[in-house]
Amino acid sequence: MRFGIMLAAVAAVAVPMAVVAKSDVSPAIAKALADPARADQAGDDARRHAADVLVFSGVKPGWQVVDFLPGQGYWTRIFAGAVGPTGHVYAVWPSAAGDRAKTTVDALNGRKLGNVTAAVDAGLITVDKPVDLVWTVQNYHDLPNDGRGEPALTAFNAAVFKALKPGGTYIVIDHAAPAGSGLTDTGTLHRIDPAIVKKQVLAAGFTFAGESKALANPKDDHTLKVFDPAIRGVTDQFVYKFRKPLK
């Protein structure tokens, strides 16, 4: 399987409220989160509401997952446990990330997780076989930056559609920009209007399968850059689920 994309790095995930009851968390997700091998990252689980968003994604043992631009591999490592030995996780960093990408790829591969493939590449997502889930956290807003524009988003959504199995799931999590702002804030505040994301993904042939409020923060007025100390880590984020039609 080969992957790639031209993209910038991601910021922290905000987590203002819990929305999933413990009884909703599958044994596979619970086991993955409780894995002692994750002790170095488990302290972030509450802040990221890991259980909430994983339950929302619907991930199951045996799934094939693309974790697109996974940063330090936080979600990759959890997915590895959630999909189990019969599943696989493909983590990809863009070559534009340079040495940082190579360092994190080497570190993740050094963990010798038998069901994880990590790589640095460039281009659009390509897969040898269709996957069950394509997952991207705080990356979507970066795609049109540096002069790439909306065509880059159109191309990316088309590549995701092609990569997924019929009925496959596409999760987009990103920092919310003011309603009606479109792509205005993607390169400045590193935010994007949720409405334009939904419009673009639906135009690619997906259906809208729901929204999670796990990362919503009504105290964020969408005016600050996501790296501003006053809001970093607690930005208002949307969590959208889309599905590729069965036919």
Query: Domains in the chain, start-ordered, CATH in brackets?
Result: 22-243 (3.40.50.150)
Element (H, E) at 121: strand 116-121
Neighbours of 116 (CB within 10 A): 21
pLDDT digits (tens, 9 = 90+) for 125-139: 877 899 999 999 998
Give the CA distances from residue 228 to residues 119, 121, 191, 223, 232, in Å, rounded to whole numbers and listed in that order. Answer: 31, 30, 12, 10, 6
pLDDT the model gives residue 220: 97
147-158 average pLDDT score = 92
Is pTM, for the whole model, over 0.95? no
Pairing of strands 207-212, 131-137: unpaired
Using the structure block, give the residue that is written with the tokens 């799934």: 63
Q: Identify the CA nearest to 94 among candidates 132, 128, 139.
A: 139
CA 220 to CA 2: how far, in whole Å?
A: 38
